[in-house]
């Protein structure tokens, strides 16, 4: 409720059909609105499936006809939805340039462009393919379904400073770990073997063949993803990477704790009222406060 502006304010002026249509499309608390929401949900899921399946060569070849028909059916459906939203929005232009308006337009445009676009050469084939892939962003329309997402976004938003600090810490840790491992896996073996600088073939034999590559390894490792496409080969490299893993692990559990603590404290804080002192306007009073902690003024009525 607090998320959107009040319903009355949002509702369009004009003929009653616009108001009814608005309620069906933008609200989900009427039966018709609920049916519309579920239908839209199914259409989005089906549409994303079609886009995904079209990229599997074996399936796409055999079923191109049925996939194409589904695609057109869904595009027409989304076109109707887009037109309807434009028609019954209180401020059609404002909707058209809003985040949702752009996403809704992006859901239908690629199919039409693909239809009119002439596939003349290799280059245009690639562009066409890229445009068609844009349809996968229809999945963003799912976001509109989620009333509960509000709390999640708020939690992320509240924790944004922590997340940025965390990302900087990770960046620093990743750069240093990466450089260290690049050095250990490349420069040390060369030192001990005393190769000439001209013979660079041996030198790049390690999988840590550049610092960016080693930083990619550090990110994959510190987040405990651990693909295993890049692993230390030397004994010293294994020893140092084991140490870095333990340090990284000890480090990386801290921001998780931060976010949890943020959410937990929010939970506990919730029951606390929003009362302001009538004399000195200070807030953050104790949950059961009777007197202002700053000026001693009585907060609640004597009754």
Interface positions, 88-117, toward its own copies (CB under 8 A): none
76 binds its own copies (CB under 8 A): no
The least CB distance from residue 220 to its own copies, in Å, is 7
In this chain, which of 8, 118, 191, 301 binds its own copies, going by CB under 8 A?
Answer: 191
Taking the CB of residue 109, how many other CB atoms lie within 10 A of it?
16
Return the number of the residue (15 or 303) whose C-beta is nearest its own copies: 303
> Can you spell out the DSSP letters for the chain?
--SSPPHHHHS--SSHHHHHHHHHHH--SSHHHHHHHHHHHHHHHHHHHHHHHTTSHHHHHHTHHHHHHHHHHHHHHHHHHHHHHHHHSSSHHHHHHSHHHHHHHHHHHHHHHHHHS---SHHHHHHHHHHHHGGGGGGGGGGGG-STHHHHHHHHHHTHHHHHHHHHHHHHHHHHHHHHHHIIIIIHHHHHHT--TT-HHHHT-SS--SHHHHHHHHHHHHTT---SSS---SHHHHHHHHHHHHHHHHHHHHHHHHHHHHHHHHHHHTTS-----TTT------TT-SB-TTT--B-S---
Which residue in the set 288, 301, 302, 303 belongs to the binding site for its own copies (CB under 8 A)?
Answer: 288
Is residue 211 a contact point for its own copies (CB under 8 A)?
yes
- Which of 122, 301, 302, 303: binder of its own copies (CB under 8 A)? 122
Q: Which of the stretches 3-11, 21-29, 77-85, 213-221 binds its own copies when contact is defined by CB under 8 A? A: 213-221
**Minimum gap (Å) between residue 81 Cβ and its own copies:** 19
Of the ranges 8-16, 70-78, 105-113, 184-192, which one interacts with its own copies (CB under 8 A)? 184-192
Number of residues that bind its own copies (CB under 8 A): 120
- Exactly one of 94, 260, 278, 279 binds its own copies (CB under 8 A); that residue is 260
Q: Which of 108, 163, 111 is nearest to 132 (CA)?
A: 111
Stretch that binds its own copies, among 9-17, 78-86, 88-96, 295-303 (CB under 8 A): 295-303
The distance of closest approach from Cβ of residue 40 to its own copies in the complex, given in angstroms and rounded to an integer, is 14
Pair 207, 231: CB distance under 8 Å: yes
Does 225 engage in binding with its own copies (CB under 8 A)?
A: yes
The contact mask relative to its own copies for 39-58 (x = CB under 8 A, - = no) is ---------x--xxxxxxx-
Q: Which of 7, 187, 205, 278 binds its own copies (CB under 8 A)?
A: 187
Contact positions with its own copies (CB under 8 A) in 263-282: 263-268, 271, 280-282
Binding flag, residue 130, its own copies (CB under 8 A): yes
By CB under 8 A, is residue 20 in contact with its own copies? Answer: no
């Amino acid at each position: 409720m607090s998320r959107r502006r009040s319903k009355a304010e949002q509702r369009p002026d004009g003929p009653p059909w616009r108001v009814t249509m608005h309620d069906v499309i933008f609200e989900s608390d009427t039966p018709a609105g609920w049916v519309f929401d579920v239908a839209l949900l199914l259409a989005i899921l089906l549409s994303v499936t079609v886009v995904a399946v079209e990229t599997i060569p074996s399936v796409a070849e055999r079923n191109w006809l049925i996939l194409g028909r589904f695609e057109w059916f869904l595009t027409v459906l989304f076109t109707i939805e887009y037109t309807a939203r434009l028609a019954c929005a209180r401020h059609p232009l404002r909707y058209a340039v809003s985040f949702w308006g752009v996403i809704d337009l992006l859901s239908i445009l690629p199919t039409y462009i693909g239809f009119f676009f002439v596939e003349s050469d290799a280059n245009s084939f690639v562009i066409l393919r890229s445009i068609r892939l844009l349809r996968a962003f229809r999945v963003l329309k799912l976001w509109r379904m989620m009333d509960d997402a509000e709390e999640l976004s708020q939690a992320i938003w509240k924790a944004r400073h922590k997340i940025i600090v965390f990302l900087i810490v990770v960046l620093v840790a990743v750069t240093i770990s990466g450089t260290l491992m690049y050095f250990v896996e490349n420069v040390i073996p060369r030192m001990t073997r005393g190769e000439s600088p001209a013979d660079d073939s041996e030198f790049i034999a390690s999988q840590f063949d550049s610092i960016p590559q080693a930083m990619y390894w550090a990110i994959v490792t510190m987040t405990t993803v651990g693909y295993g496409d890049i692993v230390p080969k030397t004994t010293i490299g294994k020893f140092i990477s084991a140490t870095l893993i333990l340090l990284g692990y000890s480090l990386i559990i801290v921001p998780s704790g931060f976010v949890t603590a943020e959410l937990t404290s929010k939970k506990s804080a919730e029951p606390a009222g929003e009362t302001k002192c009538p004399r000195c306007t200070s807030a953050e009073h104790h949950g059961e406060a009777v007197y202002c902690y700053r000026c001693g003024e009585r907060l609640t009525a004597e009754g």
